[in-house]
Chain A
Amino acid sequence: MAKEARTEIQKAENAGVLPHAEQTRPGPVFSPAVDIFENDNSITVLADMPGVKAQDLQIDLRESVLTLTARVTTPESPNESDVLREYRSGTFFRQFTLSETINQTGIDAKLADGVLRLELPKVEKAKPRQITVRTS
């Protein structure tokens, strides 16, 4: 748990309250399963978003809040009737707060086979300067 306490990404606490997503989009909202990890250079987010097409996915990063929104259109044609229903399509929505400063220009997002891979490079920290003291 000590490791968890040090995490630098926290899920936004008010994830249950989604003013934007709820006001503008009808239908159910789902929280995609994610893997998040980081190394010295970047933070990587992997999210399972089955059925999402690249043009329907919105990634927004402002004031260190990362928002993933994606709309899934139902593939069923209207003359099909249900036999078994185990999942619903709707909107994927999830927000994270990032404590690291992200290099906005270097963000890379890839969507393949329903999985989003988002690379968020960290801003390089100022290198510590070594000051040598001269002896006279």
Chain B
Amino acid sequence: MLVRRVWPSRPTFDSPFADFDSVRREMLRLLDSVAGDTFGEVGAGVFPPMNITQDNDNFYLRAEVPGIKPNELSISAIRNRLSLAGNREIQREHERVSYHRRERAEGSFNRTVTLPTEINADKVDAKYTDGILTLTLPKAEETKPRQIKVRP
């Protein structure tokens, strides 16, 4: 089935029906979730959508930020909190053009997520490829699980 990406802020359509469209999408999403056809998105409803995973040593945060230059992203980490801020600008076309679709959202964003444990903020690694930002966030040493040997 076809699933429409849920974009948080709709681009500013000049159409009076733009609001109806967002209501329609929301209804479809609800119907999908009732039908058990959803893919388990939590959908915080904010840009950018993020996935966070973990293994024993690191948290991995991936965010979909297409069309944003890496140097326009501001990332800050403190204790167990991580902030991602930036601005997505869509370049105006110079020539006289008429638009048929304008769905891509633009504007500034600022998100803060709280991670389950503290991270080592000095060793955060950030990578940007193909519109996806990947952060590797090492868990703080003291929060890592430790193997405890039982003495015989």
Contact = CB atoms under 8 A, between A and B. Distances in A.
A20 B107 CA distance: 35
Using C-beta atoms within 8 Å of the partner chain, give the interface range for chain A.
Answer: 35 or more
A18 B2 contact: yes
Contacts of B59: 83
Contacts of B131: 48-52, 113-115
A55 B68 CA distance: 21
A101 interface: no
Interface in B59-78: 59-60, 62, 64-69
Nearest to B93: A37
Nearest to A8: B100
The secondary-structure label for the interface of chain B is: loop
Interface in A105-121: 111, 113-115
B51 A87 contact: yes
A50 B132 contact: yes
A39 to B, nearest CB: 5
B53 A76 contact: yes
Interface of B: 1-5, 7, 15, 17, 39-44, 49-55, 59-60, 62, 64-69, 90, 93, 95-105, 113, 115-116, 128, 130-132, 134
Given A35-B99, A38-B100, 9 more contacts: A9-B100, A30-B5, A37-B100, A50-B66, A86-B43, A87-B41, A87-B51, A88-B41, A114-B65
